Amino acid sequence: MTIYSGRFQQRAAVITGGASGVGREAAGRIVAEGGQVCLWDWDQKALAEAARAVPGVLTAQVDVADADGVARAAEEAFASFGRLDILIASAGITGPTATLWEYPVKDWRRVVDVDLHGVFNTCRAVVPLMLKNDYGRIVNIASVAGKEGNPNASAYSAAKAAVIGLTKSLGKELAPTGVRVNCVTPATFKSPILAQLPQSQIDYMRSKIPMGRLGEVEEVASLVCWLASEECSFSTAATFDISGGRTTY
Ligand SMILES: NC(=O)c1ccc[n+]([C@@H]2O[C@H](COP(=O)([O-])OP(=O)(O)OC[C@H]3O[C@@H](n4cnc5c(N)ncnc54)[C@H](O)[C@@H]3O)[C@@H](O)[C@H]2O)c1
């Protein structure tokens, strides 16, 4: 039996959206367990704060919707660490809260650009770098919205459903290699992203959770870090629920 401790020693990670929320929490855990981390985020101020909160991390200002910028940042991270083992794709935005027929076209495109194309751009850039060592752990942060659809969140729900599909495809493509690809589908948990939503939408989402409470960022990061670790060896192309009982599939 292998007992793992210091799960991330010798491991190098990129975390998109790493300046805040679950990405930042996961960064703290990976560093505490011996890993090296580069945080990607478009919010320069939040990146600086995260670098103070998690000493030792590298940071890069990256818009995940910009495929060329993502490719450059991936090469830079690989050059800095000499390897790339872990991707946590956590960057995301909610977009406006509105019915589909009232949804502004430019907002629809931006949500899909960040929440779906951002995951595509990032996975596309890092997979060849992981294959150099035939080892990798990719954890895409989808959402319960991608399984069930939340009303007044059609762009977000559609993008997150697509991330689940992308994860299934990529996981199968890489199954014969040492790279595992999984996603998580959290129900609502407390993080700064909730400031993008009206209270009525948060109340609706809380009402759907049988545990009767929102999740904590630490609870989600704990699952994410297991999926990012070597211990996650026989799961790939899979979708992991963390929803207080909201979705049981
Ligand atoms: N909090 C929830 O209730 C919840 C539930 C399900 C899924 N999620 C998903 O979890 C992930 C993490 O969200 P969080 O709750 O930690 O929110 P958060 O707002 O704390 O973190 C998201 C980070 O992504 C960054 N970001 C946004 N757009 C970006 C872009 N184009 N390029 C680079 N960085 C960008 C933000 O600046 C922020 O630092 C998101 O994908 C979100 O959709 C959140």
Cα of 21 from ligand 1 centre, angstroms: 7
Measure the CA–CA gap between 28 and 84, rounded to whole angstroms.
18
The residues carrying an active-site annotation are 156
Percent of the chain with pLDDT over 70: 98
Query: Reduced to 3 states, what is the DSSP secondary structure of residue 182?
Result: strand
Domain layout of the chain by residue ranges: 12-236
Measure the CA–CA gap between 194 and 206, rounded to whole angstroms.
12
Asked if residue 141 has its Cβ within 6 Å of ligand 1, the reply is yes
Q: Tens of pLDDT along 26-73?
A: 999 999 999 999 999 999 999 999 999 999 999 999 999 999 999 999
Give the residue among 122, 17, 21, 108 at the shortest CA–CA distance from 74. 122
Measure the CA–CA gap between 139 and 29, rounded to whole angstroms.
15
Query: Reduced to 3 states, what is the DSSP secondary structure of residue 146?
Result: helix
The CATH number of the domain covering residues in 12-236: 3.40.50.720
Measure the CA–CA gap between 137 and 146, rounded to whole angstroms.
22
Cα of 239 from ligand 1 centre, angstroms: 18
pLDDT of 163 over the 70 cut: yes
Measure the CA–CA gap between 14 and 36, rounded to whole angstroms.
9
Give me the helix-helix angle, 67-81 and 118-131, nearest 10°: 30
Q: Tens of pLDDT along 177-218?
A: 999 999 999 999 999 999 999 999 999 999 999 999 999 999
Starting at the edge strand that comes first in sequence, how are the strands of the sheet with 12-16 ordered? 58-61, 36-41, 12-16, 86-89, 136-141, 179-186, 238-242
**Residue among 14, 15, 20 to mutate when testing ligand 1 (max atoms within 8 A of CB):** 20
